[in-house]
């Protein structure tokens, strides 16, 4: 070994703590623990039989050798066409030149700072925001500036204040990072009125918006709010999508929709990152969209998750002591729980593990370290019975700390 | 659109030219062109029937829901065990803690600078070296220092000179980047004696070696030279492998073998890059290794490529004018051709396209811009007949420039 390996690593990696989620997940993966910590889709939601059939068809067709060969960096042409078609129905004014396939959304969250961030550049994000986004941006030396959410998502008044203050210092963020639908971790959806306010502010301050929307198609109730991209359609918005929550995360397929100039830079960045996303899994996804099974299957997943959410909400009402509140999401995988002010979710965590239940600390989603009395709960992965039993256990742990 | 998008992009992406290979490939993909430009395995080399069977078995087993779910960042445990077992037989003193699965080798080449390079840091590479490596390193601001090859690979005398000169300036490279087996693009293999010299120099100067070895298992003749990792076994070496050339590039599976401390940092870096490589394709690869089909199939690929190489070498001897020379690789996918000094492969390129044959300019593989009278020829992808016809056409184009 070289004499001092620690000095060979660069500044960015040396500054990284081991990922909070990764370390916590290890603890929560003990078999006796009911874990609300992960963000995993339910295995019941995977269309195994349909996929088996589709893969056999691919192997029996001339697509087989294309599926096993290198593909283009932009992604499978047919898959891109199908996705563009879907989005055009949602009012997005785009063509295939506006869409690149990525190795799931996480790669999109890595490629964005790779083309936009010089160390010290700023990004605005919600308080709270998806940890995987914050971490990816941080790896490139981005400084996160948090803006609080209310029940309609990122507060536009605080966003405008923040941008004005930055402007006074001659600063401008590289983009505003938002998760408008069933926000991870907060479970909140931005109504169109708030989306419009954010767009107006972005236009006024000449700033890009990143719309990260992995859960958009998982709406259980209420009506869909237009995509920020569709409401803007002027190239101010970069939208991220993924098959991870609506088909299978094991395929690692996501995409970015943006102005062609941005897609072009993303292609250049992706080429050195992994050359191309697996053409094999892209061909599977394309056929899955083509067959029309997809929309039927989506209904099945939504019914399943609606039921799981309802069961968790009922259990929360029944078992949680006074002073504890939570969001009631219209879709997605998560709800967000707020403890009384005087409680610390970090201190509670080990007590919860003793009760054999796990969650993720809300504070890890807050770039300013706030949110210490909050936690994220996933309702999609555990069985219905475990969702009830887990909430009982969590309520027990919390009750012991009520003053 | 924001008012001046070009100013929003960061320094690194703004400095990128469109990838030379990507732009050239577009030209070479016209149907009438015989292209020696790509680095594609032959579609005949894909074990379609075996893979079909394996995928059906996965869908019919309890592995199905694991294959479709998120996986660990380190990679599929079984696949890692199988790879470690194979490498232990080659003399590598490693356990699963020394191996991480990556989204093909290209991701490994992106994660290495992601943990080692601060802008301005230096890396030593061969003249020539794999363009995808040089580009990935450059994206993180690495400065490449080239060392010429002779017929045994990177010249150890020049390497030592380079390190001494750097030391005199208080500098040390982050690592020495080598491709010891059937080098891309040169088609040269480093004998063990040269490997030992490189190791001794690396020890003396306290520098890491990166051993990028995508073609190692594709040896058509001569005897295997020990891996640099196995000859060292002290943690000075980081080895990169991939299934892209021996199973299917469409799966996007590679791996890195290194000291546990390095693997640990790579895991952290990969987590924000794409969370995990597709567990679905990893399970396919693991079963493929387990069945024992792999080694038989490897023989088949090697026989196919040996024949294609021989046919190209024979055609070169028959058709090339005096003054043109080429390497005669013992394996891999490429050979390297040197034109008379007074010729420029860049000027020849469009004449070759007129003759309906394409190659990659050797200069793109030279970090110092040298090699203008060289080119890389791929012999694995085109059919045997096309290998002959393409060399005839290329010889015609060259002959017109002979003085």
Please tell me which of the candidates A8, A208, A252 has its beta carbon nearest to residue B274: A252
> Does any domain span residue B61?
no
Looking at the 3D structure of chain A, how many domains does it have?
A: 2
Give the confidence band of B26 by pLDDT, cuts at 50, 70, 90.
confident
- The CA dihedral of A254, A256, A262, A266, to the nearest 10 degrees, is 0
- Show residues of chain B in contact with A11, CB under 8 Å: 118
Query: A304, exposed or middle or buried, with CB in 10 Å at 0-12, 13-18, 19+?
Result: middle
What pLDDT, on the 0 to 100 scale, is given for residue A19?
Answer: 59
pLDDT, tens digit (0-9, with 9 covering 90-100), for B134-143: 999 999 999 9
Give the confidence band of B15 by pLDDT, cuts at 50, 70, 90.
confident
CB contact under 8 A, B52 and A59: yes
> Does any domain span residue B287?
yes
Higher local confidence (pLDDT), A1 or A23: A1
**One domain, residues B27 and B110:** no
Side-chain-facing half-sphere of A330: CA atoms under 13 Å: 16
pLDDT, tens digit (0-9, with 9 covering 90-100), for B69-128: 999 999 999 999 999 999 999 999 999 999 999 999 999 999 999 999 999 999 999 999
**One domain, residues B175 and B108:** yes
What pLDDT, on the 0 to 100 scale, is given for residue A141?
Answer: 94
**One domain, residues A73 and A201:** yes
> Does any domain span residue B53?
no
Measure B360 CA to nearest chain A CA, in Å.
Answer: 17
What pLDDT, on the 0 to 100 scale, is given for residue A16?
Answer: 80
**One domain, residues A395 and A383:** yes
**One domain, residues A227 and A122:** yes
> Does any domain span residue B31?
yes
Closest CA to B127 of B151, B152, B145, B112: B145
Helical residues (DSSP H) of A32-76, grouped into ranges: 48-59, 63-68
B292, B316, B332 - which closes a domain? B292
**One domain, residues A141 and A207:** yes
CA distance B143 to B138: 7
What pLDDT, on the 0 to 100 scale, is given for residue A28?
Answer: 77
**One domain, residues B283 and B324:** no
Count of A-B CB contacts under 8 Å: 232
Contact B344, B305 (CB under 8 A): no
Handedness of CA A287, A292, A293, A295 (dihedral sign): positive
**pLDDT exceeds 80 at position A18:** no
- In A, minimum Cα distance to B38 occurs at A70
Long-range contacts of A45-49 (CB under 8 A, 24+ apart): A45/A300, A45/A301, A45/A304, A45/A305, A45/A380, A46/A247, A46/A248, A46/B64, A46/B65, A46/B68, A46/B69, A47/A247, A47/A288, A47/A293, A47/A297, A48/B59, A48/B64, A48/B65, A48/B68
CA distance A59 to A55: 6
CB contact under 8 A, B2 and A70: no
Helical residues (DSSP H) of A100-185, grouped into ranges: 104-116, 131-139, 156-168
**One domain, residues A320 and A265:** no
Q: Which residues contact B351 (CB under 8 A, 6 or more apart)?
A: B397, B400, B401
Could you tell me the residue range of the domain that residue B384 belongs to?
A: 5-47+296-399
What pLDDT, on the 0 to 100 scale, is given for residue A30?
Answer: 84
CA distance A118 to B9: 9
> Does any domain span residue A60?
no
**One domain, residues A274 and A141:** yes
Tokens encoding A72: 């283009």
Closest CA to B309 of B281, B290, B336, B347: B336
CA distance A30 to B272: 24
CATH number at residue A266: 3.40.640.10
pTM: 0.96
CB contact under 8 A, A71 and B10: no
The pLDDT of B192-209, averaged and rounded, is 98
Beta bridge partners of B337: B326, B375
B292, B311, B343 - which closes a domain? B292
> Does any domain span residue B62?
no
What pLDDT, on the 0 to 100 scale, is given for residue A215?
Answer: 96
CATH number at residue B322: 3.90.1150.10
- Show residues of chain B in contact with A268, CB under 8 Å: 13, 16, 18-19
What pLDDT, on the 0 to 100 scale, is given for residue B20?
Answer: 57
A277, A292, A307 - which closes a domain? A292
CA distance B270 to B277: 9
- Show residues of chain A in contact with B199, CB under 8 Å: none
pLDDT, tens digit (0-9, with 9 covering 90-100), for B265-315: 999 999 999 999 999 999 999 999 998 889 899 999 999 999 999 999 999
What pLDDT, on the 0 to 100 scale, is given for residue A24?
Answer: 65
**pLDDT exceeds 70 at position B235:** yes
**One domain, residues A20 and A120:** no
**One domain, residues B176 and B256:** yes
Tokens encoding B341: 């000094």
CB contact under 8 A, B13 and A115: yes
Q: What is the ipTM of this complex?
A: 0.96
What pLDDT, on the 0 to 100 scale, is given for residue B216?
Answer: 97
- Show residues of chain B in contact with A18, CB under 8 Å: 268
> Does any domain span residue A201?
yes
**One domain, residues B216 and B119:** yes
**pLDDT exceeds 60 at position A99:** yes
> Does any domain span residue B281?
yes
Write down the mean pLDDT value for chain B: 95
CA distance B265 to A8: 12
**pLDDT exceeds 60 at position B261:** yes
**pLDDT exceeds 90 at position A25:** no
Tokens encoding A178: 């938002």
Q: How many CB atoms lie within 10 A of CB B26?
A: 9
pLDDT, tens digit (0-9, with 9 covering 90-100), for A130-173: 999 999 999 999 999 999 999 999 999 999 999 999 999 999 99
What pLDDT, on the 0 to 100 scale, is given for residue A29?
Answer: 77
CB contact under 8 A, B281 and A281: yes
CB contact under 8 A, A114 and B13: yes
Contact A83, A293 (CB under 8 A): no
B318-327 as b/e: b if 16+ CB within 10 A: ebbeeebebb
Q: In percent, how much of chain B has pLDDT > 90?
A: 92
Q: In percent, how much of chain A has pLDDT > 70?
A: 98
CB contact under 8 A, A139 and B269: yes
CB contact under 8 A, B103 and A274: yes
């Amino acid at each position: 070994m070289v004499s001092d390996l620690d000095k060979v690593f660069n500044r960015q990696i040396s500054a990284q703590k081991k990922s909070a989620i990764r370390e916590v997940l290890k603890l929560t993966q003990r078999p006796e623990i009911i874990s609300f910590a992960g963000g995993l889709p339910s295995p019941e939601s995977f269309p195994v039989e349909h996929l088996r059939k589709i893969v056999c068809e691919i192997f029996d067709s001339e697509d087989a050798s294309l599926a096993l060969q290198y593909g283009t960096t932009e992604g499978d042409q047919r898959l891109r066409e199908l996705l563009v078609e879907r989005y055009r129905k949602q009012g997005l004014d785009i063509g295939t030149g506006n869409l690149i396939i990525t190795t799931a959304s996480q790669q999109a969250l890595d490629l964005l700072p790779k083309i936009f961030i010089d160390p010290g550049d700023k990004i605005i994000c919600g308080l709270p925001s998806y940890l995987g986004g914050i971490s990816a941006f941080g790896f490139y030396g981005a400084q996160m500036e948090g803006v609080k959410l209310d029940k309609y998502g990122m507060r536009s008044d605080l966003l405008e204040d923040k941008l004005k203050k930055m402007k006074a210092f001659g600063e401008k963020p590289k983009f505003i990072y938002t998760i408008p639908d069933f926000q991870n971790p907060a479970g909140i959806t931005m109504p169109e009125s708030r989306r419009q306010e954010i767009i107006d502010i972005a236009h006024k301050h000449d700033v890009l918006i990143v719309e990260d929307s992995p859960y958009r198609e998982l709406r259980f109730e209420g009506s869909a709010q237009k995509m920020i991209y569709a409401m803007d359609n002027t190239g101010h918005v970069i939208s991220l999508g993924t098959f991870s929550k609506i088909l299978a995360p094991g395929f690692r397929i996501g995409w970015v929709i943006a102005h062609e100039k941005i897609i072009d830079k993303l292609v250049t960045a992706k080429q050195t990152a992994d050359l191309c996303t697996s053409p094999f899994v892209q061909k599977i996804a394309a056929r899955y969209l083509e067959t029309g099974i997809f929309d039927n299957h989506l209904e099945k997943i939504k019914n399943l998750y609606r039921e799981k959410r309802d069961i968790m909400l009922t259990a929360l009402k029944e078992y949680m002591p006074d002073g504890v509140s939570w969001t009631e999401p219209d879709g997605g995988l998560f709800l967000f729980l707020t403890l009384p002010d005087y409680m610390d979710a970090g201190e509670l965590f080990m007590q919860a593990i003793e009760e054999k239940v796990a969650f993720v600390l809300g504070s890890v989603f807050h770039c300013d370290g706030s949110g210490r009395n909050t936690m994220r709960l996933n309702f999609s992965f555990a069985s219905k019975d475990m969702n009830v039993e887990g909430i009982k256990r969590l309520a027990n742990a919390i009750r012991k700390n009520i003053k």
